[in-house]
Structures are given as C-alpha cells and as structure tokens.
Amino acid sequence: MGNGYAIEVKELHKDYGDVHAVQGINFTVERGEIFSLLGPNGAGKTTTISMLSCLLHPTAGDAWVMGHSVSQDPMAVKETLGMVPQEIAIYEDLSARENLTFWGKMYGLRGDALRQRVDEILEMIGLTDRQKGRTGKFSGGMKRRLNIGIALLHKPQIIYMDEPTVGIDPQSRRKILDSVLDLNKQGMTVLYTTHYMEEAQELSDHIAIMDHGKIIAYGAHEELIKIVGELDRITLTLNMESAGVLDAWRALEGVKTVSAEDGTVHLFVDDSNLVLPHLFETANRSDVRITSVAIQEPNLEAVFLHLTGRALRD
C-alpha cells in the first residue's frame, strides 16, 4: 500500500474506552508537500500524528508512511520520519551538542558521520556558538530550534511538526514558519498540525480540517474556501441579546446564515456593502444597538465556522 504517497491514511480509528478520539479518518499526503491538520484543541490532531509516528496503535484502520504500514512495520516507518513534538523534548541537563549526539545515535548515526551531522545541524539552527552550554539555560526560542534540529539529524524523508508554535513569541514563530518552508524547499514532506488558521493558510499545499475526531473538510486552501463560496463574513457585537433581531436578519435578502455565540453574531452574506445598512436599520427598529462591526473576506476560519457553527479557537 501507500501508492506512491508520502502518507496514506485509511479508516483510522483510535478509541479510549468510550471516547472516540479519532473516528475513521481518510487522507493522503503527496511526497514533497506541506500538509496541515487544522482544528481546535481536542479535535484529534495529536492522536492522529501519534498513530502516524507509531506512538499509538490504531484501534482500527491503518496508515502507510513512505509505503510502510504503521501497524505492520513500525520500525521502518520510524526510520523515515523526524518528529517535532508539541512540547519541547530535550535533556536540559545536557548541552546542545550532547543532546544532538545522543539523539543522532538513537537514529543510528555513529562516528564521523554523526559528528559531521551534528555540526551541520548546530549551524542550521544557529547554536554553534552555544553548543557546549547546558540547554536548561537556553531561551525558549533556542530550545525550540534545538527541538526541531533533533528531528532533522537523520535527514528524514518526512517531518511531523505537532503545533510547534504554541506559546512562543511572534518573532520565534516567524522563524519556525520560515524553517518549515525552507525544509519543504529542500524536498522534505511536512505534516503540520495547528489550530492557527493563518499558519495552515500560509504554509499548506493541502489542509484537512478536523473536529471531534473527524475530518470535516479536506483539500487545497482555495478548494476549502469555495465551501463558503464568495460569501462575506460579518461579525457584530450587540449591546443586548435579541432573538427577534436575529430572526429579522435571517429574513433579509442576501443573508445566508446567522449564528450567535457569546454575545457575538456571525453572518455570511452575499455582499456586505449592500446588507450592512439593513442590519443597522433592523436593529434600530428593535431598540438593539450594534457596538462593533467586522467584515472579513472568506478564509479557513469562515470555513470552520460555516461547517461547525463554532469559531476555530474554541
């Protein structure tokens, strides 16, 4: 199996007792592309990536990584991939060089080849000058870079990056996104999980949107946007809740959907310029005041909202 794909996933399930963390997902990742799993926390992204890296056994179904089954041939799968876990997984009482040397050995590197590769990675992640310092004293950004460098030691064909930008500053985040693009340019296939719509949108050739253990949308960025068509998204904040206003808005011409959530109202409309005056007029008649207005072009956030009725960052 595998059919030439970097990753092929078929009917993959993972259950924890009565909890169905992943419910029969299917997708393929082409060789040399960046593929993102996008979804809110708890959607099943990390469980999926854990099964694809042979950390978890699937309850049912299977997946093939570079043609190797994660169920039948996990050791071959592990040789092809480099894993960048969500949390920084390094030994803080060892130096950067000691960390890279140890992890290199775990990937089967030895002797001069190992030393040379460690030097290359230190150069690549900009830690050559700090290679002998204990990593416990490194800044968060330096640790993140080392965390990524470890996954590159054995020149893997595929790299998995599980939410690598969570909780870091914008500058470090930018560097990580650039490094993902650089790796991809070098021919590496990247499987990237995130709950940041902007990252998936910027990086990915293909995106699978996950929610509650299922893939609810799958395709290239442009294909996903077509799900919400050419609709504009208007987000309003009201001074009071009013079911009557929402019903009145639903009845307006050009309004496709209306959903309210925590005092915020989301509308998908054909043309925001035409609809907006009518929204204010209707609200005024009901003595409801609109306190803020935001208009957005169609994006993945809108796709997720359109498909689930919830914002992506829930």
Binding positions for another protein, rule: CB under 8 A: 53-55, 75, 78-79, 81, 83, 85-91, 93-94, 98, 102-103, 105-108, 150
Q: How far is the CB of 109 from another protein (least distance, A)?
A: 11
Q: How far is the CB of 121 from another protein (least distance, A)?
A: 15
Q: How far is the CB of 68 from another protein (least distance, A)?
A: 11
Q: Which is nearer to another protein, 44 or 298 (CB)?
A: 44
Partnered with residue 220 across adjacent β-strands are: none
Q: How far apart are alpha carbons 229 and 8 in whole angstroms?
A: 29
Q: Which is nearer to another protein, 133 or 254 (CB)?
A: 133
Q: How far apart are alpha carbons 197 and 38 in whole angstroms?
A: 7
Q: Which is nearer to another protein, 135 or 272 (CB)?
A: 135
Q: How far is the CB of 17 from another protein (least distance, A)?
A: 16
Q: How far apart are alpha carbons 236 and 280 in whole angstroms?
A: 10
Q: Which is nearer to another protein, 88 or 300 (CB)?
A: 88
Q: Which is nearer to another protein, 105 or 289 (CB)?
A: 105
Q: How far is the CB of 75 from another protein (least distance, A)?
A: 5
Q: How far is the CB of 183 from another protein (least distance, A)?
A: 17
Listing from the earlier edge strand, what are the strands of the sheet with 255-261?
255-261, 264-269, 232-238, 290-296
Q: Which is nearer to another protein, 75 or 243 (CB)?
A: 75
8 Å CB contact between 238 and 69: no
Using alpha carbons, select from 17, 20, 26, 21 the residue that is nearest to residue 61: 26
8 Å CB contact between 310 and 261: yes
CB atoms within 10 A of CB 33: 16
Dihedral of alpha carbons 144, 164, 178, 154, sign: positive
